[in-house]
Chains A and B, each alone.
Chain A
């Protein structure tokens, strides 16, 4: 067992039975309810030194209820290990708490996750489109979005036969 896995084992033991934990690809995977994300991440940052926010994204399971996984990754720059946090949210209320108060860099990634999957981050007031443009309807990385559902901003030319 490497030093990193040893450290993750200690984190898992400290978190106790309240958090569903497992190991995958050398990461500690923690699955919690959406409301528990903010306290858990605050503990991970303050007690266990996961001081770097790597990513937030979502996974769309069209046949499953709840439909979406929201997935965060954090990195410890002292123990050199990663941790993954997952929460399931319903399509009707795809809301989780923002992590901008803890990690400033979360803002852009929450904007991207919001436009691509329609996840709402409670407390993040700046969820404008980042890669898409104003007026774009829908969330293109959801599986029910048409691959060719283009929304042109410039009217197409009339091609003479």
Chain B
């Protein structure tokens, strides 16, 4: 008994039914805003790490605030503090446990170069044993420097190749 409704006009064929992009740019865009850091914290730079993670500076704005407390679930290794030669095998093992893709941040001058621990006990920069993507000098670094480093790392991730299946794809 209902009157036939007038036919709806067809949905407009908008401009955004599909987008095209390139695979590396798309995957890089997704990855750069979902950095899950693993804090490998050994020394006093941890205070600065807490400061930059918490409300005032808030690395969550960059999608890099949720620390994973297992290296197997994380993709950014933040080495925060001095690494001694006794500690080096642990750092190496943590790095090897992380899944690809993974990036490493040397947080503070001790992780970068050994800092003023210029002696037999301290590893003179973590890049002696693992590759490092971004270095932050400072003792400790300012939170602004850490944020700058995260942004530089995001630029690097966005612009690099992201092989998914293998190196050829």
Contact = CB atoms under 8 A, between A and B. Distances in A.
Contact of A152 (B88, B119, B130): B88
Given A154-B92, A154-B129, A157-B129, A133 B85 contact: yes
A150 B128 CA distance: 13
A148 interface: yes
A143 B129 CA distance: 29
Contacts of A34: none
Nearest to B91: A154
Considering the complex of A and B, which 10 residue pairs feature the smallest CB-CB distances, nearest first?
Answer: A154-B88, A150-B120, A156-B128, A154-B129, A149-B120, A133-B86, A154-B92, A153-B89, A147-B119, A152-B85
Interface residues of A, number: 18
Contacts of B118: 147-148
Interface string A130-147: 011100000010000111
Nearest to A155: B129
A78 interface: no
Contacts of A148: 118-120
A142 to B, nearest CB: 12
Given A145-B120, A148-B119, A154-B88, 19 more contacts: A133-B85, A140-B120, A146-B120, A147-B119, A148-B120, A150-B85, A151-B85, A152-B85, A152-B88, A152-B123, A153-B86, A153-B89, A154-B89, A154-B92, A156-B129, A157-B127, A157-B129, A157-B131, A159-B127
B151 interface: no
Contacts of B121: 140, 150
Interface string B85-119: 11011001000000000000000000000000011
A145 B129 CA distance: 24
A149 B131 CA distance: 24
Contacts of B85: 133, 150-153
A147 B120 contact: yes
Contacts of A156: 128-129
Contacts of A131: 86
11 contacts: A133-B85, A148-B120, A150-B121, A151-B85, A153-B85, A153-B88, A154-B89, A157-B127, A157-B129, A157-B130, A159-B127
Most buried by B among A140, A149, A151, A152: A152
A153 B88 CA distance: 7
B137 to A, nearest CB: 19
B124 to A, nearest CB: 8
Contacts of A159: 127
B95 to A, nearest CB: 10
A99 B119 CA distance: 32
A157 B131 CA distance: 8
